[in-house]
Structure 1
Amino acid sequence: MRRSLLVVASFMLLAGVTAHAQNTGSIRYKWHDGQGLMHFSDSLTADAMKFGYDLVNDRGLVVQHVPRQLNAQERAAANKLAEEQAARQRAAQQIIDAEAQMLAAYPDEESYRISQQQSLDTIDQQIHTTQINLRSQEKALTDLLGRAADLENAKQPVPKYLADRIAEQRGVVTELRNTLHRQQGLHEQTVQQQAKELARYRELKAAQNKSAEQG
């Protein structure tokens, strides 16, 4: 399919060149090879298409430039670059759309700050719940350790089931402590991010108000 498209494209290019030649008189082809040497030809050659060429009229003036054909590697690189540029453009447009939606959803700073505080409140509630669970699990671990200590003080061996319970409970406590640490870190990150977002909101709002005044 791609080969067919290339054939059609080449045919259309030659047809355009022929029509151009008919409108401008005698046309020659000029190009530079890989060593930089200049060549002229009365017909379109493979080398001219490979390196790119100029259409020259009978007065020696360049009337059109046709860039060289890209090889497979160059086409792949060009396609990748185009895709990256398109992705950056989409990302930039998404930011513009998101900021426009933000201004529409929060017409004043007070409503925007309330929304930010609600997000923080959700994180704080999660932290509070984890702290309650952690205290409960730490107490359960303390009780198990106390039972084991009583047995050791009585010169009695600690049963395997009790040792296993202690190890399991330590794992629960450790996981809850890690969860609490992550949640507290998220709280701090959110506070910092919200400060930046609020500053951006103020910039956008000021620009919006200025535009309205000028309008």
Structure 2
Amino acid sequence: MMQSVVRSTLIALALLSGVASAAGDRLRYKWRDEGGNLHYSDSVPPQATRLGYEVVNEHGVVVRRVERAKTEEELAAAKAAADKIAAEKRRADEAARNDAQMLAAYPTEDDLRKSLQGQIDLITQNIQATEVGIASQEKSLAERLVHAAEQERNGKPVPAAVQKQINTLRSGLAEQKAFLERRTADRAAMEKQLVSDIEHYRQIKKSNDEQRGAKR
């Protein structure tokens, strides 16, 4: 019990001594004005806050540095830079997640190739069906145009129903041909994506295998 009291007393005295020592230190502020002239002061003037300053002890040793206040332009630039870094990190994280999902979904390159080729084949089937539809509509339109021409050669007006069918077929053909053009472009894009995705898959597969090998 007596030893505990002595130990507590010694700790308290040490703490008091430290506080007294800290209180006895005289801190001053060292800074340079816009002309480069050196100043020392017992308090921090507004100019020093704006330009930056150093805190020194009674021996002239720097104990803390305070950077100058940033301008609004510098703060905006710093924020923009931080936002850019954050955005790049988000993109990198998303890319890493996508790569991990690709490897999980397609254990082998052949699995990926079959999946992508399957999508291309579906588009090809869609294109072929559209081409058949266009050929059928073009035949129907040609028949009605022949009928309308015969009516005109015979000095008869083209029946309203026939003219309506002609207009409908022409409009439908224009839509189908535009659709065919889009799907053909889609297939070309998918074929390029297949090549690109296969190459990317090889890269991430190699990197993943190397990392797994290094951990062994």
Tell me, in whole angstroms, the C-alpha distance in 2 between the residues paired with 1:24 and 1:102: 66
Alpha-carbon spacing, 1:155–1:79, altered in 2? closer, same or farther (3 Å):
same
Q: Deviations over 1:97-120 (max 9, x none)?
A: 111121122112221211111221
Alignment of 1:17-96 (within 5 A): 22=22, 25-34=25-34, 38-96=38-96
Contact 2:25 2:58 in 1 (8 A): yes
Q: What is the one-letter code of the residue matched to 2:51?
A: F
The structure with the largest alpha-carbon Rg is: 2
Q: Displacement, 1:93?
A: 0.7
Tell me, in whole angstroms, the C-alpha distance in 2 between the residues paired with 1:68 and 1:125: 68
Structure-2 residue corresponding to 1:125: 125
* Greater mean deviation of Cα atoms: 45-54 or 174-183: 45-54
Q: What are structure 2's unaligned runs of at least 5 residues?
A: 1-18
Contact 1:24 1:57 in 2 (8 A): no
Structure-1 residue corresponding to 2:150: 150
Q: SS at the partner of 2:156?
A: coil
State TM-score, norm by structure 1: 0.75
Q: Deviations over 1:56-96 (max 9, x none)?
A: 33343433222233344543443333222211111111111
- Whether 1:183 and 2:183 are equivalent positions in the alignment is yes
Alpha-carbon spacing, 1:187–1:40, altered in 2? closer, same or farther (3 Å):
farther
Structure-2 residue corresponding to 1:14: none
Q: SS at the partner of 1:190?
A: helix
Q: SS at the partner of 2:107?
A: coil
Contact 1:131 1:180 in 2 (8 A): yes
Tell me, in whole angstroms, the C-alpha distance in 2 between the residues paired with 1:57 and 1:48: 17
Q: Deviations over 1:34-57 (max 9, x none)?
A: 555554432122222223322233
* Percent sequence identity over aligned pairs: 34
Q: What are structure 1's unaligned runs of at least 5 residues?
A: 1-18
Alpha-carbon spacing, 1:43–1:188, altered in 2? closer, same or farther (3 Å):
same
